[in-house]
């Protein structure tokens, strides 16, 4: 019986995922137009305009490097990797995740005029916010790779895994975006709750600290956090140079938990969608 339920759930996931991909392909022009517009609106009216998109991440990384590389003179991690490189591999994926979740959560309430249009595909709104955030993330990743080269870590074939981990983050945040954006229409406190979860999640995720400093019996609990997989994926790709399938157990778990979040978000969004117009 459990096996049949698992099969039904898997088929439902594949069906929802197929619909999502078909939906995105059909709306790709509108999707990229809206994401570009959303990205530009963040800097509209400022003197430097979109240049801020490059300046902000560059200044942030410079500050992090100064504090931990020069100020604290942090020692290399166990394998001899400069601490700043190890730290940025955790910071950059987390910032993309946190920013994408926050923005996609507000995708419906901030676009009420589009929601009320009968012919508009409302389900792409969280993805629009994620894609507009992705532009900044790509800049961050580019700077990260440049810093690795400066430290003598030259490009290898393992670097082709970076797009994979970016896509994994997008799928994860999209599921969360559907879930939280649909709930926020009816429960305004969702924003505060998600904010607290992200804040605690930042410190509970091995970004500043290594999982090796805590007893092994707690490792399984830490690995329940799907962002652990993404961050370790960046470190394994850029520092340890290992392939995704070399940590197959963690990959299977991540796909499973992302599957649950994605399908749950899709179902929740689909059921609440007809009532958005009444509330907004």
Reported as a single tens digit per residue, the pLDDT across 138-190 is: 988 998 999 999 988 999 999 999 999 999 999 999 999 999 999 998 888 88
Q: Is the model more confident about 66 or about 10? A: 66
Report which of 73, 64, 138 is spatially closest to residue 99, judged by C-alpha positions.
138
Handedness of CA 26, 30, 36, 38 (dihedral sign): negative
CA 117 remoteness from chain centre: 29
Q: Which residue has the tokens 């069906």?
A: 15
Q: Of 10 and 183, which is predicted with more confidence?
A: 183
pLDDT at 51 over 80: no
Q: Which residues contact 186 (CB under 8 A, 6 or more apart)?
A: 272, 275, 279
| Interval 217-249: pLDDT, tens | 888 888 889 999 999 999 999 998 899 988 888
Instruction: Kindly state the average pLDDT of the residues 40-58.
Output: 69
Q: Are 226 and 165 in contact (CB under 8 A)?
A: no
Is residue 188 within 8 Å of residue 108, measured between CB atoms? Answer: no
pLDDT number for residue 196: 92
Least confident segment among 3-12, 64-73, 126-135, 271-280: 3-12
Q: Which of 6-20, 52-66, 107-121 has the lowest mean pLDDT?
A: 6-20
Q: Are 264 and 179 spatial neighbours (Cβ–Cβ below 8 Å)?
A: yes
Residue 80 burial (10 A CB sphere; 0-12, 13-18, 19+) = exposed
State in Å, rounded, how far the first CA of the chain is from the last one: 42
**CA count, 13 A, side-chain hemisphere, 215:** 2
pLDDT at 87 over 80: yes
φ/ψ (deg, to 5) at 47? -65, -40
Cβ atoms within 10 Å, residue 100: 27
Stronger pLDDT, 230 or 15, i.e. the higher one: 230
pLDDT digits (tens, 9 = 90+) for 92-140: 999 999 999 999 999 888 887 777 766 677 888 899 999 999 988 998 8
Mean pLDDT for the stretch of residues 52-62: 74
- 274 or 57, which is more confident: 274
Rounded-to-integer distance, Cα 256 and Cα 142, Å? 29
Query: Is a pLDDT exceeding 60 seen at residue 1?
Result: no
| pLDDT value of position 166 | 96
Model-level pTM? 0.87
Bigger pLDDT: 64 or 20? 64
The mean per-residue pLDDT over the stretch 30-40 comes to 82
Q: Pick the residue with more confidence: 114 or 252? A: 252
Q: Work out the angle at residue 157's Cα, subtended by the Cα atoms of residues 258 and 223, and round it to the nearest 5 degrees.
A: 30
* Residues in the chain, total: 280
Q: Is the pLDDT higher at 172 or at 279?
A: 172
- Contact at 8 Å (CB) between 160 and 222? no
**For residue 6, pLDDT beyond 60:** no
pLDDT, tens digit, 9 for 90 and up, residues 204-213: 898 888 888 8
d(CA 242, CA 156): 11
C-alpha of 32 from chain center: 18
Quickly count: other Cβ atoms within 10 Å of residue 200's Cβ.
10
CA distance 143 to 151: 12
Average pLDDT over residues 252-256: 90
């Amino acid at each position: 019986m459990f096996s049949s339920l698992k099969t039904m759930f898997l088929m439902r996931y594949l069906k929802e995922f197929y619909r999502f991909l078909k939906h995105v392909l059909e709306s790709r022009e509108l999707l990229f137009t809206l994401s570009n517009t959303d990205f530009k609106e963040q800097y509209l009216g400022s003197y430097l305009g979109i240049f801020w998109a490059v300046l902000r991440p560059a200044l942030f990384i410079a500050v992090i490097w100064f504090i931990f590389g020069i100020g604290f003179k942090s020692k290399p991690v166990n394998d001899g990797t400069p601490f700043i490189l190890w730290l940025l591999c955790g910071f950059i994926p987390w910032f993309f995740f946190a920013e994408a979740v926050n923005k996609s959560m507000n995708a419906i309430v901030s676009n009420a005029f589009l929601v009320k249009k009968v012919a508009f595909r409302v389900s792409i709104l969280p993805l629009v916010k994620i894609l507009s955030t992705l532009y900044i993330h790509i800049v961050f990743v580019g700077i990260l790779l440049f810093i690795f080269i400066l430290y003598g870590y030259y490009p290898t074939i393992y670097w082709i895994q970076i797009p994979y981990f970016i896509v994994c983050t997008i799928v994860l945040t999209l599921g969360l975006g559907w879930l939280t954006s649909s709930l926020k229409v009816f429960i305004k406190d969702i924003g505060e709750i998600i904010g607290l979860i992200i804040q605690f999640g930042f410190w509970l995720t091995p970004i500043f600290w290594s999982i090796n400093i805590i007893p092994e019996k707690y490792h399984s609990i830490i690995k329940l956090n799907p962002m652990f997989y993404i961050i370790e994926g960046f470190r394994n790709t850029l520092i340890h140079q290992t392939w995704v399938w070399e940590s197959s157990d963690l990959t299977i778990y991540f796909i499973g938990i992302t599957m649950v979040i994605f399908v749950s978000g899709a179902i929740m969004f689909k059921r609440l969608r007809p009532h958005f117009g009444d509330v907004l």
